């Protein structure tokens, strides 16, 4: 026996969420049905709107529902000469919250990983090159995660920078090796940002 | 700085799920935006349909999008003389999966908990009494969880049964005390069902 068709469908659909198996999906479905139907309806609307309208900024690839994200649109920052390259929007947010950076960003959505079929194209590196070709950016801060893949990606991008005569720097140690940027406290991030070293 | 409005709204909406804080909501939002927009849209549809259409069976309170649930509608079971009272639809499912029971159910959606304002009315006990008053049910198996509250609820319902001259039984030990029915394996559940003892 199974639950009623719509309940089954809800349970199965909830499994699209990361780390949610059958049991947690069932718990979530019952929680919503029993205690938070308004919240569930709001979630449904938020999902539909976000999936339909949220795309990537045409300049930095950050999530936005407009052509350019709020940072690229900001008059204070659009003329910045420093650009930070991060692996994810969550990393971008972590740097913003450290309060140490007022420049532009570029979001890779991952790192080079040939075995998973993630190469320069998947990371949008031709868009980054277009940015560098404009001549406004003088320094690229490589703020990828301090992992083997993050380091390799940073080196790859540093070479692109040197072809465009743009200085490439790497955020300093301070971020624990093997850790994830997103989970580092603001002070550590700020120190690692301040202590960045030249890569080219 | 925050993420774009639709992304923020999605992250906040995901927090209606049990056990999902800001960080996990953010991870889930990025996962869906980046890797599973189809899944997210299906989830949105499933949520809307389920919240709009899933109600409680008019006889046993099990989830259903019809007036009566599949069990109450089943010709094989609608004439049953044994009725099992469970705390949740998940417990009902666990009993179904143990394969030991072919009768009717009644779902309480909780247990008596005066401090939380959960009394006989919140558990639908007047609907249960209507069922008993019809005279078809000869035995009520109290399959509430073997916790203090589950036991108290079982005793309360056993008294209702005795007023209607219906035999009340309690599922046997075998289910670990303090545990939750939903997580017990089928064999243990089957044994505890078979070893049920009279309460009235
Ligand atoms: Zn942007
Ligand atoms: Zn029913």
Of the bound ligands, which one is closest to the alpha carbon of residue A89? 1
Rounded to whole angstroms, what are the CA distances from B191 to A35, B102, B148, B185, B195?
A: 33, 15, 21, 10, 6
Mean pLDDT for the stretch of residues B150-161: 95
Determine the pLDDT at residue B173.
64
Inside any domain, residue B119? yes
H or E stretch at B45: helix B37-53
Mean pLDDT for the stretch of residues A180-189: 78
Mean pLDDT for the stretch of residues A9-30: 96
Inside any domain, residue A80? yes
Reading the block at residue B27, the tokens are 């991870």
Inside any domain, residue B37? no
Its domain, for residue A90, covers: 61-170
Mean pLDDT for the stretch of residues A120-145: 95
Q: Look-up: residue for tokens 């998947």?
A: A122
Do the strands B139-142 and B167-170 form a parallel or antiparallel pair, or are they unpaired? parallel
Determine the pLDDT at residue A23.
92
Of the bound ligands, which one is closest to the alpha carbon of residue B73? 2
Inside any domain, residue B13? no
Q: Which of A4, A48, A65 sits opposite B70 (nearest CB)?
A: A4
| Residue pLDDT, tens place only, B60-117 | 999 999 999 999 999 999 999 999 999 999 999 988 988 888 999 999 999 999 999 9
Determine the pLDDT at residue A177.
67
Residue bearing the bigger pLDDT, B180 or B200: B180
- In the predicted model, what is the mean pLDDT of chain A? 92
* ipTM (interface predicted TM): 0.84
Inside any domain, residue A4? no
Q: What is the CATH number of the domain that holds B135?
A: 3.40.1360.10
Inside any domain, residue B165? yes
A90 contacts B30 by C-beta, under 8 angstroms:
yes
Is residue A126 scored above 90 in pLDDT? yes
Is residue A1 scored above 70 in pLDDT? no
Q: Which of B13, B31, B36 sits opposite A43 (nearest CB)?
A: B13
CA distance A175 to chain B (A): 19
**Structural domains in chain A (count):** 1
How many CB atoms within 10 Å of residue B152?
A: 15
**Which of A19, A23, A43, A72 to mutate against chain B (most B CBs within 10 Å)?**
A43
Which residues have a Cβ under 8 Å from the Cβ of A160 and sit 6 or more positions away? A125, A128, A129, A132
Helical segments of A62-168, H only: 70-73, 89-98, 125-133, 148-163
**CA atoms of B96 and B101, how far apart (whole Å):** 7
A82 contacts A103 by C-beta, under 8 angstroms:
yes
Inside any domain, residue B125? yes
Burial of residue B188 (CB within 10 Å: 0-12, 13-18, 19+) is: middle
Inside any domain, residue A10? no
Is residue B171 scored above 90 in pLDDT? no
Is residue A182 scored above 90 in pLDDT? no
């Amino acid at each position: 026996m199974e639950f009623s068709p719509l309940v089954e469908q809800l349970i199965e659909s909830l499994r699209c969420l990361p780390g949610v198996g059958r049991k947690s999906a069932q718990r979530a479905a019952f929680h919503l049905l029993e205690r938070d139907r308004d919240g569930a309806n709001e979630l449904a609307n938020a999902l539909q709107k976000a999936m339909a309208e949220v795309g990537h900024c045409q300049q930095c690839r950050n999530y936005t529902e407009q052509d350019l994200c709020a940072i690229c649109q900001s008059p204070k920052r659009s003329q910045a000469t420093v650009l930070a390259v991060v692996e994810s929007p969550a990393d971008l947010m972590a740097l913003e919250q450290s309060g140490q950076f007022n420049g532009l960003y570029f979001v890779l959505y991952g790192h080079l990983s040939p075995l998973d079929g993630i190469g320069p194209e998947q990371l949008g590196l031709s868009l980054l090159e277009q940015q560098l070709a404009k001549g406004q950016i003088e320094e690229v801060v490589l703020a990828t995660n301090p992992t083997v893949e993050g380091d390799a990606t940073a080196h790859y991008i540093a070479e692109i920078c040197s072809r465009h005569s743009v200085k490439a720097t790497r955020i300093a140690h301070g971020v624990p090796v093997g850790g994830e940027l997103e989970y580092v406290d603001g002070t550590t991030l700020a120190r690692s940002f301040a202590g960045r070293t030249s890569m080219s």
